[in-house]
Amino acid sequence: MPVEVTDVRSNPQDQIAHAVRVIGRSEDRMMVFLAIYKGKKKAKTVSEVAKLASLPGKADPRIRVLQEAGVLCGNRIAKKTKIGIELAYEKDSFYAQNKKTIMRLVNNREALTRFPTKTNPTLRLGSIHVSFPRHLVRARQITIDDIGSFSRVRGHPSNLALHPVKESMFKEGLKTVLGEKGTFQDWGGETDDLFSTRLVIRRERKSVAFGLKGRGTTGILTPRKMGKRGDQIQRLFRAPADVFIVQYGGQIDESIIEQMKYMAIAKSVSEQREIYFGVIDGQDTLRIIGSYPDFFRAKHPLKVGQANVRAIGQEAR
């Protein structure tokens, strides 16, 4: 009878972090790990792993599989076995269930530093954890497909190649879509980059505060990149808005959404009203620009607010 490799009762977080550190930055080891844990088959031979791993530029990929799988087995992330007369590698049930989390942390080392374990509890001094009765929480996450002001994007594809977008260009186009004529100057202590009372959700006008990140920010957007002190989301939620949105022309880390969620819950409970929050990543940014091409130019030929008028009419249908 097979014996479990890991003890899931000891500390699951530490075991996940252990697997991430063992895989490290070795692309070959990561490919071997993914090959062993691919699909429902519990064990795979060396030949099967070599074929699935598709290790490029290797004269004999089987040798590389033996080396990298040996490291995984030596660290109890997989187990050696046999299928017929050939050496094989068997999955561990715990790591199979947590494969997505492991790969997320392998690809985001910054997230690993925040991942709580016994040796890295990530305590925050001065923090107070408060639980709220569910009926008092009226915070809802939305996407651009839920916003009437962006109604045209519903028929626009989301599988678009990302490229940097200038913040000022996107802001001006966004103002035109919303019908916002106000002037908004950027400075170090502002709560938001764009505030408007003309966003349409469910045929109702809502006030919205946008936090915009332009080409000066690179890589995956994390809370640490939100302002010089990493407090841009907190400042965003100080705005007297119903809707809070962070926009970035690239990938947005889930930690941004998590932080916005907690801020929205706190604001909803403290002010006893419904709060909406969401993000516009690079793909959705291009969907908006592609859906309103005339608005995202140096000069906007269409009348300000025309998109919002259409949005209210389309939602009413």
pLDDT per residue over 204-247, tens digit each? 999 999 999 987 888 999 998 988 788 899 999 999 999 999 99
The candidate with the shortest Cα–Cα distance to 241, out of 178, 179, 199, is 199
Whether pLDDT at 8 is above 50 = no
Whether pLDDT at 7 is above 60 = no
CA dihedral 293, 296, 298, 300 (to 10 degrees): 70
Whether pLDDT at 187 is above 80 = no
Q: What is the pLDDT of residue 163?
A: 62
pTM above 0.75, yes or no: no
| Range of lowest pLDDT (32-36, 148-152, 153-157, 189-193) | 189-193
Whether pLDDT at 123 is above 50 = no
pLDDT digits (tens, 9 = 90+) for 81-120: 999 999 999 999 999 999 999 999 888 877 777 776 665 6
The candidate with the shortest Cα–Cα distance to 6, out of 95, 81, 89, is 95
Whether pLDDT at 248 is above 70 = yes
CA–CA gap between residue 231 and residue 235 (Å, rounded): 6
CA–CA gap between residue 9 and residue 237 (Å, rounded): 39
Q: Among residues of the chain, what percentage have pLDDT more than 90? A: 48
pLDDT digits (tens, 9 = 90+) for 281-313: 999 999 999 899 888 864 443 343 444 445 434
Q: What is the pLDDT of residue 211?
A: 93
91 and 102 in contact (C-beta within 8 Å)?
no
Maximum Cα–Cα distance across the chain? 75
CA–CA gap between residue 248 and residue 251 (Å, rounded): 7
- In this prediction, residue 58 has a pLDDT band, given cuts at 50, 70 and 90, of low
Radius of gyration of the chain (CA): 24
Q: What is the pLDDT of residue 55?
A: 75
Q: What is the pLDDT of residue 309?
A: 41
CB atoms within 10 A of CB 46: 18
- In this prediction, residue 136 has a pLDDT band, given cuts at 50, 70 and 90, of confident
Average confidence (pLDDT) over 26-34: 91
CB atoms within 10 A of CB 236: 24
Q: What is the pLDDT of residue 190?
A: 65
Whether pLDDT at 31 is above 60 = yes
The candidate with the shortest Cα–Cα distance to 274, out of 245, 246, 242, 244, is 242
pLDDT digits (tens, 9 = 90+) for 155-180: 777 766 666 667 888 899 999 999 98
